[in-house]
Structure 1
Amino acid sequence: MASVEKTEFVVPEPHPQNRATHDPSAPAHGLGRDAEAAVDARQHSGENDIETTLRPRSLGEFIGQPKVRDQLNLVLTGAKNRGVTPDHVLLSGPPGLGKTTMAMIIAYELGTSLRMTSGPALERAGDLAAMLSNLMEGDVLFIDEIHRMARPAEEMLYMAMEDFRIDVIVGKGPGATSIPLELAPFTLVGATTRSGMLTGPLRDRFGFTAQMEFYNTEDLTKVVTRAAKIIGVSIDPDAAVEIASRSRGTPRIANRLLRRVRDYAEVNSNGHIDLAAAQAALVVFDVDEMGLDRLDRAVLEALIKGHGGGPVGVSTLAVAVGEEPSTVEEVCEPYLVRAGMISRTGRGRVATAAAWLHLGLEPPAGIMNTLY
């Protein structure tokens, strides 16, 4: 049977600032059953696992997404009170909003282990069968980008989600036999950035679906302030707001910008991040006041200066900026459309009046009315 990518998540030790509320004698949640395979986060406190360090460990620590947190708390609390395995959970939304973190939190709140894989890794039904057969009762199975699962694995998952059973085919041709394999009750947490690509039968088998939304500046400021305390960086409140306002509503980008601003402050000043240091650092790293980077501005300039504001096809824009069409369409366009700088029409992409003004140009009279 083909090997399959598997990871068992071990909840990391709380940060020293939060250690006062941690009971060392309490059993560790999510501890792997194979001691030799378990990873102790205390042995890896370097820069490489900074993302794990910044992840909140419980629903109470999770910032933002209040509706999702409240709904998920009801689902998990109700299941724990009844002593049953919670319904399967589907988390959908753009990248960087905390879907993987939420899956880890679900396992932590339930006090169980988390097994992690991704849709592209499950190419055959046998890959999924190997992972499902290793689950213990109450485990949480997290499948990232679940919409990219191969169809044979997805069809096997239907029966596993509903009946906690799979049928393993042994042999080939007329002599092939089906062997039923009972599974321990588990909770599947699926994450997808394209919920529309999920098949109807798969989507209907999730008992709870949560749509992760972009963050506002206030919540992102809390994310930046919390992350700064964890990594030991001194930051002024107005500097945290400045970083948050340029983070495209995404915590992952906010944490990344904070680390780059920290580098600038350590090299060019005493390490303290004030407003001037934050603004100067973001200029160095090509992030403007709206969160647009070099590639975003290159797309706008190609659209406006090169083609008079459009309409222009995405392939033409990609050639103009030296990128693949998929990069322009999947990386740049979503934020530019959400920021109101590009409109997608049947004839191609069109720059709005806001895009002209952002580049310091006077918009044509025909689109100036879109501002009013």
Structure 2
Amino acid sequence: MSDGFSSEIRVAEDDPREGDGSYDATARIVDAGSTDDDGVVEAALRPRRLADFPGQPKVRDQLGLVLEAARRRGSPPDHVLLSGPPGLGKTTLAMIVAAELEQPIRVTSGPAIQHAGDLASVLSSLTEGEVLFFDEIHRMSRPAEEMLYLAMEDFRVDVIVGKGPGATAIPLELPPFTVVGATTRAGLLPAPLRDRFGFTGHLDFYDDADLEKILARSAGLLEVESDGDALAEIARRSRGTPRVANRLLRRVRDWAQVHGTGRVGLDAAHRALALFDVDEIGLDRLDRAVLDALCRRFGGGPVGLSTLAVSVGEETDTVETVAEPYLVRQGYIVRSPRGRLATPAAWQHLDLSPPAGAQTPLPLPDDPEAGRLG
């Protein structure tokens, strides 16, 4: 295969979405060389089997046990809920569950299921043993959630025929199937829905060693020559997230092909990451803008989330879900009941000195609702 990609990645026919918004992803293996779209390339780089899935050893071992036991019983496994920040492999694990069970998989998302009829359409098309993957399951509408409760527990749905006093509920039996739900905000799932998942796995950020393994595998699939120290540098700046690591690898590859020798070396990594505004600890433009506004404009805080978002020209949700989690985890920002506060590490990273009288963050509980008002 041309364009420097592995010939083992095959081309699948287009799989148009069903009328209910879901689609059959069973054979969705894409050709990474056919397009430059990042999402397509990311899909091609995903491991196909649990044994090839790097990192997350506890979740991998627990899920492997659940799937192996189900195979030996010859029955579908318990429903699976995967939670954790974006980019850690929840969708990949859902695809692996179907592959390990040798069953088809149907993919949909919480925002696409806004009416009970939408869910009934998806459920009625399932075959025995099929895997139904819900991405962002916490965003499903309440009527659809209530229908899903019954479907997951008793494998049936009640279809309402008619309106008003003459309406009749007709039970529709469903073949046994497995729901795999993915969520970045497990706390928003209602307890009745959460309790119907027999296995819950939480994915955490990866360490640098695991990210280096992921990058080495991706470089092999992309047929990119690379040096170990360059991959280590990319891993160190990848925020503990495989999706970020693979994206940075592709950008360094682009720089090496245009300005270098085509080989991903340490110098190419440094120059490419500097070009794309990724600093030594993985902070990007938005991260540094948030820190800069917090320290320079507001004297280190406290400042409300909405005010901080307006000051950097971004939506509140973007700052809260994209930039803030990593800044908090790295110890640059502290959430408090009165707003966000910059830590001494933030001032040091910006090479600034805290002004006289700047408040020192206290080790307060991490409250996601703290400091919303601005």
Q: One fold, TM greater than 0.5?
A: yes
1:1-372 equivalences in 2 (<5 Å):
3-11=19-27, 41=30, 45-48=34-37, 49-363=40-354
Equivalent pair of 2:123/2:174 in contact (CA under 8 Å): yes
Q: Shift in Å at residue 79 of structure 1?
A: 0.7
Q: CA, structure 1 residues 370+328, in 2 after alignment: closer, same or farther (shift >3 Å)?
A: closer
Could you tell me whether the CA contact under 8 Å between 1:352 and 1:367 is conserved in 2? no
Q: CA offsets, 1:284-343, max 9 Å, x none?
A: 000001110111111111111111111111122122211222221221111110110000
- The alpha-carbon deviation at position 3 of structure 1 amounts to 3.3
Once the two structures are TM-superposed, the CA of residue 346 in structure 1 deviates from its matched residue by: 1.1
Task: Output the CA distance in 2 between the equivalents of 1:233 and 1:347.
Answer: 49
Paired with 1:308 and 1:68, the residues of 2 have a C-alpha distance of 42
SS at match of 1:242: helix
Shift of 1:93: 0.4
Name 2:14's counterpart in structure 1. none
- Inter-partner Cα distance in structure 2 for 1:306 and 1:318: 13
- The CA deviation at 1:358 is 0.5
> Aligned partners of 1:247 and 1:331: how far apart in 2?
14
Q: Which moves more between the two structures, 360-369 or 272-281?
A: 360-369
Question: What residue in structure 2 maps to residue 19 of structure 1?
Answer: none
CA drift of 1:363 comes to 3.9
Residues 81 and 182 in structure 2, CA contact (< 8 A), matched pair in contact too: yes
* Corresponding residue SS for 1:305: helix
SS at match of 1:323: coil
Matching residue of 1:14: none
Gaps of 5+ in 1: 12-38
Between the aligned partners of 1:147 and 1:84, the Cα distance in structure 2 is 27
* Contact kept? 2:31, 2:44, Cα under 8 Å: no
**2: CA distance between counterparts of 1:75 and 1:249?**
27
Q: Does the 8 Å contact 2:26/2:106 carry over to 1?
A: no
Inter-partner Cα distance in structure 2 for 1:365 and 1:328: 28
Give the whole-Å Cα distance in 1 for the aligned partners of 2:145 and 2:22.
17
Q: Does the 8 Å CA contact 1:119/1:147 hold for their aligned counterparts?
A: yes
Q: Distance in 1 between matches of 2:135 and 2:32?
A: 27
Note closer, same or farther for the CA distance 1:43–1:191 as it changes in structure 2 (3 Å cut).
closer
- Cα 1:160/1:105, change in 2 over 3 Å: same
Check 1:333–1:41 CA distance in 2 against 1; reply closer, same or farther (3 A cut). Answer: closer
CA–CA distance in 1 between the matches of 2:263 and 2:192?
53
Q: 1:172, 1:109 → 2: CA distance? A: 44
More off after superposition, 305-314 vs 210-219: 305-314
How far is the alpha carbon of 1:53 from its aligned partner? 1.2
SS of the residue 1:330 aligns to: helix
Q: Alpha-carbon deviation of 1:44?
A: 7.3
- Secondary structure in 1 matching 2:66: helix
Paired residues in the alignment total 343
Q: Which stretches in structure 2 are left out of the alignment for 5+ residues?
A: 1-17, 363-374
Equivalent-residue separation in structure 1 for 2:29 and 2:247 (angstroms):
24
Tell me the secondary structure at the aligned position of residue 158 of structure 2: strand
Q: TM-score with structure 2 length normalisation?
A: 0.88
Give the C-alpha shift of residue 367 in structure 1.
Answer: 7.6
Counterpart-to-counterpart distance in 2, 1:129 and 1:168? 8
How much identity, in percent, do the aligned residues show? Answer: 64
My pick for the range that moved more, 361-370 or 57-66, is 361-370
Runs of 4+ in 1 over 3 A off after TM superposition: 39-48, 363-371
Q: For residues 55 and 358 of structure 2, what CA distance do their matches in structure 1 show?
A: 36
